[in-house]
Amino acid sequence: MSPNRLIVLIVVAIAVIGGFNNLSGLFVDALWFGELGQSAVFWTVLRTKVVLGAIGFLIALLYFGGNLLYANRRSPLRQFPGFGELARALPTQSQLTTLLTVAAVVASGFLGAAAATGWLPFLTCQNQVPFGVNDPLFGRDVAFYLFSLPFLEFLRSWLLGLFGFTLVACTTVYLLKGGLFLEGRLMLRPARHLVFLIAAFGIGLAFHFWLAGFGLLQSARGVTHGASYTDVHAQLPAYRILIGASLVASAVIVAGAFRKSLPLLASGPVLLVLATIIGSAIYPKVLQKIVVEPNELEKETPYIKHNIELTRLAYDLQDIQTESLVPDRLLDASDLAGNEATLRNIRLWDWRPLRSTYAQIQEIRLYYNFVDVDVDRYWIDGTYRQVMLSAREMSPSQIPAEARTWVNQHLKYTHGYGLCLSPVDRVTPEGLPELLIRDIPPTSATNLQVTRPAIYYGEEQLDYALVGTTTDEFDYPIGESNASTRYDGEGGIRIGSWWRRLLFASHLADSKLLLTGYLSGESRILLHRRIQDRLPKLASFLRYDRDPYLVIRDDGTLVWVQDAYTVSNRFPYSEPFGSINYIRNSVKATVDAYDGTTKLYAVDPDDPVLRTYRNAFPTLFTDGSELPETIRRHLRFPEDGFSVQAHVYAKYHMTDPETFYNREDLWEFANESYGGREAPVEPYYVVMRLPGGDEAEMILMVPFTPSNKDNMIAWLAARCDGDRYGERLVFNFPKQTLVYGPRQIEARIDQDPVISQALTLWSQSGSQVIRGNLLVIPIAQGLLYVEPLYLQAEQGELPELKRVILSNGDDIVMEETLDEALASLVGGTPTDWNAAARTGTASTAPGLGSETNGAGTSTPAGAGTDASTGRVRALPPGSLSPEVTNRIEAARSAFAEGQRALRSGDWAAYGAAQRRLQEILDELSAASQTR
């Protein structure tokens, strides 16, 4: 066989293999979408790609190929000067024509493939739904900017690429073949050909400048995002001039070619370049410096208003309710008694140390892994409880290397098993979480039961699994042996036939799928088993929250819930946050942990972006009203979406343009110290009764501080339960009142001599001290600050909860349990506080006539300490005379008045209150000495 034929065979073989791999990938995708019942989505996308690709290919072939072959025909080979012997090695005219024809087809194929990538802008443009809101500059509906403009810009880029590529290619042919000049003279026909190509590019530039005017609504030139004074009065007119300049330049170039006038030919490009420099570079900068900057607030005020209004609309901030909260007194036992559900759900477990603890006590075997810990709430034995739970997933990477065979990875170790669930506030005497669901098989100490614990789909990085094979799967360990199982779900794609095995082997690059003898006619392959991969594969145009969470259905089966967002970066005048400037949590996705059944529920039917997607893909979304109640009860306001809204609201709660311009009331997330470094507080879920609320509910909240300050100025909450799901409230503190932020409370904890000494001793004794998130929990008219402390041996991975630190803003206490810390904070003992919680009676307020015992806790005045236990011992009822009781009440009143004066900065009132308090204490001291 000749070398040429061998090369041809190799090229053909590579092309066939590559084509088969691509076709196998399409076939596998078609089967996978069919498994989910979404074949229509697959075929809609494929059909759109094929149509756009074919149109792009034909246009490119006609324009690029036609011009390239015309240039070749106008440059015969006889034009090559003085090549001598080298000329014999050059291709003939017919060979060159064939070569350029092939090149034109290949290049058109690439341009067609590029056109196919515009499938999503095309579909959204074609199916767009109006917003009913017009931009303030051009008066166009917002939908034009989110759906029409992206497709027009894609079309512009594709056309300019085609025009520019064709111009370069034809110029290259003319120059290489010597067809542009003959004996030093410019050839008229080739020159005119190139001039027409240049004119076409000029028309494309005019289209570009027309679209650039709309792009000014995303300008970052001014004080705020969006078209500024300079953009409207300088840049926009400049773009309109450049549209005319591009068209005039194209006409001038064509006229120069026909009149054979070189000056006229050159004047067109010169005109366009000068117009671009003056209009886009010089004039806007001059106007900005001379007119705008000396009068910036006056000139930019209308555009600041547009930015504020449309940013709040784009991030859905306009419906946030504003409330005032005045923490005018310290918490007492009656406040705690009235908020029992809040206290019962105080989260003592931070998810990071809890995950390590779960791993140490409940992973059972090396190949299991707890990827994440989720926060949820359940009715447990008739009580509404906040819990933390984590799925026990299979981690193939942790299987011992010698056992990591193909059979084990794909046929045996196919699924995880069960979960851990514990209340957020319960701790064993050993400092470990009190597990309500635990072990393998799962055992439950409550009404919550897991009836189908196998987890085939989850958060772990999972390869494909083969089920329904001729061998049993590993189910779970039993002592020294293992239980086995057979998958009986409907998930997966049948892979029994040789033809399908060949396709999957090609697509997955795994020849063992062809060679294994374990497959039968009932065998199935489970693909895309990781939630974070599965959902984007199904709907790539949605943005997904980073934290999918596991839910136990009423029937004991397991399902993953994943929040999805519709986003855009095209909303006019809206301030960007990262890569987006529009967001809605319009979709709730569910994935069954056993069979992979995947649903996308449309929970915001008013979102125009979601409605556009539903027009494009009618079968993809299920109406939100069909979301099962067993899942709806566990929906959460998503963390990522809330964080985006909260960050934007920290700036855009200011609605007055002048205040906004001066940044007079700029907020930021409160800071805390975690892991030895300072970082913004992450939003956290709390079950609590909101101020003015009727009952405890789950909310997502975050505290704010003024910019570059540590005192707390407000906190934002999003409701998660029932009909009030999605409502957001911001509680503002009086600006003249000092309310401690998390970082200030942590600083006071660090300065407490007893607590500081204890932390130092623990660290020196070979234990690592882990300080959990400091939570700020509003209760009644006060605040409760909670920080758990964990100890972990330096050589171990088992964090244990050893102390709870509480503060009401004034006092700081540290105790072994939450009940003991609450009792120390409000006075009395845990027994007394529990009694007060049941009866609603109040005990002595903290900080009044109190002292600190050796454990760093507040001890009520006159109370003793049990020498044998070290616990605070309360005074027996009725042991104080009415006169002393009245003086204590007067002291409490004077102390409270002093604290209010201190917070408001009224030093005169503070001094008067302190003097009155001192007088009362002196009277009490004298009375005690005479008894």
User: What is the spatial distance between Cα 114 and Cα 159, in angstroms, rounded to a whole number?
Assistant: 11
Residues 210 and 107 in one domain: no
User: What is the spatial distance between Cα 421 and Cα 437, in angstroms, rounded to a whole number?
Assistant: 5
Query: What is the amino acid identity at position 701?
Result: M
User: What is the spatial distance between Cα 645 and Cα 657, in angstroms, rounded to a whole number?
Assistant: 20
Residues 167 and 197 in one domain: no
In terms of C-beta density within 10 A (0-12 exposed, 13-18 middle, 19 or more buried), how is residue 868 classed?
exposed
In Å, what is the CA distance from 55 to each residue of 123, 159, 208? Answer: 15, 13, 21
Q: Specify if 579 maps to a domain.
A: yes
The set of residues, in sequence order, having a beta carbon less than 8 Å from that of 516 and lying 6+ positions away, is 406, 407
Q: In which residue are the tokens 């929990």 written?
A: 777
Residues 282 and 212 in one domain: yes
Residues 146 and 206 in one domain: no
Within 10 angstroms of residue 155's Cβ, the number of other Cβ atoms is 17
Contact by Cβ (8 Å): 345, 696: yes
Domain count, the chain: 4
Q: In the listed set 128, 144, 177, which residue is the last one of a domain according to the structure? A: 177
User: What is the spatial distance between Cα 575 and Cα 440, in angstroms, rounded to a whole number?
Assistant: 50
Produce one character per residue of 545-577: b if its CB has 16 or more CB atoms within 10 Å, e if not: bebbbbbbbeeebbbbbbbbbbbbebbbbbbbb
Contact by Cβ (8 Å): 862, 850: no
Residues 73 and 137 in one domain: yes
The pLDDT of residue 237 = 95
Q: In the listed set 288, 308, 328, which residue is the last one of a domain according to the structure? A: 308
In terms of C-beta density within 10 A (0-12 exposed, 13-18 middle, 19 or more buried), how is residue 737 classed?
middle
Helix-strand-coil split of the chain, %, nearest 5:
45, 20, 35
User: What is the spatial distance between Cα 716 and Cα 669, in angstroms, rounded to a whole number?
Assistant: 10
The set of residues, in sequence order, having a beta carbon less than 8 Å from that of 757 and lying 6+ positions away, is none
Low-confidence ranges of the chain (pLDDT < 50): 79-80, 835-879, 931
In Å, what is the CA distance from 157 to each residue of 51, 111, 239, 821, 898? Answer: 19, 11, 17, 65, 69
User: What is the spatial distance between Cα 894 and Cα 916, in angstroms, rounded to a whole number?
Assistant: 7
In the chain, what's the furthest Cα-to-Cα distance?
Answer: 130
In Å, what is the CA distance from 14 to each residue of 9, 10, 87? Answer: 9, 6, 33
DSSP secondary structure letter of residue 16? H
Write phi, then psi, for 60 (nearest 5 degrees). -65, -40
> From its phi and psi, is residue 862 left (phi > 0), alpha (psi between -120 and 50) or beta?
left
User: What is the spatial distance between Cα 603 and Cα 476, in angstroms, rounded to a whole number?
Assistant: 38
Residues 274 and 194 in one domain: yes
DSSP secondary structure letter of residue 458? B
Q: Specify if 485 maps to a domain.
A: yes
Residues 361 and 296 in one domain: no
Q: Specify if 785 maps to a domain.
A: no
The three-class DSSP label of residue 629 is helix
**Packing angle, helices 188-215 and 262-276, rounded to 10:** 20
CA distance between the termini of the chain: 122
The pLDDT of residue 851 = 35
Query: What is the amino acid identity at position 367?
Result: Y
The pLDDT of residue 94 = 78
Residues 407 and 548 in one domain: yes
243 alpha-carbon distance from chain centroid: 40
The three-class DSSP label of residue 504 is helix
Q: Which domain holds residue 897?
A: 880-931
User: What is the spatial distance between Cα 639 and Cα 311, in angstroms, rounded to a whole number?
Assistant: 20
Residues 145 and 191 in one domain: no
pTM for this predicted structure: 0.85
Residues 190 and 149 in one domain: no
In terms of C-beta density within 10 A (0-12 exposed, 13-18 middle, 19 or more buried), how is residue 700 classed?
buried
In Å, what is the CA distance from 578 to each residue of 582, 644, 648, 649, 922? Answer: 11, 9, 11, 15, 61
User: What is the spatial distance between Cα 641 and Cα 316, in angstroms, rounded to a whole number?
Assistant: 11
Residues 139 and 188 in one domain: no
Q: Specify if 438 maps to a domain.
A: yes
Both tokens of 304, joined, read: 């600041």
Q: In the listed set 281, 308, 335, which residue is the last one of a domain according to the structure? A: 308
pLDDT tens, residue by residue, 33-80:
999 999 999 999 999 999 999 999 999 999 999 999 998 887 765 544
Element (H, E) at 311: helix 296-314
**Hey, CA dihedral for 678, 679, 685, 689, is it positive or negative?**
positive
User: What is the spatial distance between Cα 615 and Cα 606, in angstroms, rounded to a whole number?
Assistant: 13
Alpha helices, DSSP H, located in 765-881? 818-826, 830-839
The pLDDT of residue 854 = 34
Q: Specify if 628 maps to a domain.
A: yes
Q: Specify if 593 maps to a domain.
A: yes
The pLDDT of residue 849 = 31
In Å, what is the CA distance from 631 to each residue of 37, 455, 720? Answer: 21, 18, 13
pLDDT tens, residue by residue, 786-832:
999 999 887 777 999 999 999 998 899 999 999 999 988 887 656 55
The pLDDT of residue 872 = 36
The pLDDT of residue 440 = 94
> From its phi and psi, is residue 373 left (phi > 0), alpha (psi between -120 and 50) or beta?
beta
Bridge-based pairing of strands 454-455 and 473-478 is unpaired
Element (H, E) at 919: helix 907-930
Give the residue among 329, 297, 359, 355 at the shortest CA–CA distance from 656.
297
Within 10 angstroms of residue 237's Cβ, the number of other Cβ atoms is 14
Beta bridge partners of 799: none
User: What is the spatial distance between Cα 241 and Cα 676, in angstroms, rounded to a whole number?
Assistant: 58
Q: Is the peptide bond before 441 cis (omega within 30 degrees of 0)?
A: yes
Contact by Cβ (8 Å): 214, 148: no
Both tokens of 711, joined, read: 């005192």
Q: Specify if 863 maps to a domain.
A: no
Bridge-based pairing of strands 728-732 and 321-324 is parallel
Contact by Cβ (8 Å): 775, 425: no
User: What is the spatial distance between Cα 871 and Cα 819, in angstroms, rounded to a whole number?
Assistant: 13
Long-range Cβ contact pairs of 848-853 (< 8 A, separation 24 or more): 848/888, 848/891, 848/892, 848/895, 849/888, 849/891, 849/921, 849/924, 850/811, 852/754
Both tokens of 543, joined, read: 């943005």
Contact by Cβ (8 Å): 587, 610: yes
The pLDDT of residue 183 = 53
Q: Specify if 688 maps to a domain.
A: no
Give the residue among 774, 567, 568, 541 at the shortest CA–CA distance from 669.
774
Bridge-based pairing of strands 671-674 and 677-680 is antiparallel
**Hey, CA dihedral for 320, 322, 328, 331, is it positive or negative?**
negative
Both tokens of 143, joined, read: 């939908």
**Hey, CA dihedral for 128, 130, 136, 139, is it positive or negative?**
positive
Q: How many CA atoms lie within 13 A of 411 on its CB side?
A: 17
In terms of C-beta density within 10 A (0-12 exposed, 13-18 middle, 19 or more buried), how is residue 302 classed?
middle
The pLDDT of residue 637 = 97
Query: What is the amino acid identity at position 424?
Result: V
Residues 111 and 217 in one domain: no
Contact by Cβ (8 Å): 456, 594: yes
The pLDDT of residue 439 = 94
In Å, what is the CA distance from 441 to each residue of 381, 436, 476, 796, 868? Answer: 21, 13, 8, 26, 44
